[in-house]
């Protein structure tokens, strides 16, 4: 069995952002040379997510509005976590949107359903963040 690991580096200009990282994951898969197996992609931070959904701007605005209803950023003092930090909402948003995805690799390709794309969800950005890509197989 072969094993491959890569870290993607992400730095968003805004506190919250959704980034389509499918091209970088696909490039990692090509680099790995693995044709059959599994590809894990996870956020290395507890205020960011990796999830799979549609690359459609209306849906992305819907995610933002929905997450702000569930865990509004402000007022910061509504959260017990926000003593020295102001990112309690980001921890909650990350938990709802998930830590990682696993995609099957078939015949050297990410075996997606129709419209599936991999996203990095940033909820406390404007700093250096990492995403782990781990691929195993043969
Ligand atoms: Zn925190």
Span 32-61, average pLDDT: 98
Distance 75 CA to ligand 1 centre (A): 15
- C-beta of residue 8 within 8 angstroms of C-beta of residue 43: no
**Segments forming the whole domain that contains residue 113:** 2-137
- The CATH number for 80's domain is 2.60.120.460
| Tally of structural domains, the chain | 1
The answer to whether 14 and 126 are in contact (CB under 8 A) is yes
**For residue range 102-133, what is the model confidence (pLDDT) as tens digits?**
999 999 999 999 999 999 999 999 999 999 99
pLDDT > 90: percent of the chain: 100
Cα(47) to ligand 1 centroid in Å equals 7
pLDDT digits (tens, 9 = 90+) for 53-86: 999 999 999 999 999 999 999 999 999 999 999 9
For residue 18, list its beta bridge partners: 121
CA of 19 to the centre of ligand 1 (A): 21
């Amino acid at each position: 069995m072969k094993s491959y690991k890569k870290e993607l580096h992400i730095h968003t200009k805004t506190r919250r952002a959704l980034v389509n990282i499918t091209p970088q994951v696909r490039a990692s898969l090509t680099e790995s040379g693995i044709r059959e197996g599994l590809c894990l992609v996870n956020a290395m931070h507890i205020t960011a997510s990796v999830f799979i959904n549609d690359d459609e701007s209306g849906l992305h605005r819907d995610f933002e509005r929905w997450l702000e209803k569930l865990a509004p950023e402000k007022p910061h003092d509504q959260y017990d976590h926000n003593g020295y930090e102001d990112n309690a909402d980001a921890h909650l948003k990350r938990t709802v949107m998930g830590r990682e995805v696993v995609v099957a690799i078939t015949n050297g390709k990410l075996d997606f359903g129709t419209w599936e794309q991999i996203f990095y969800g940033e909820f406390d950005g404007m700093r250096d963040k990492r995403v782990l890509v781990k691929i195993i197989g043969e």
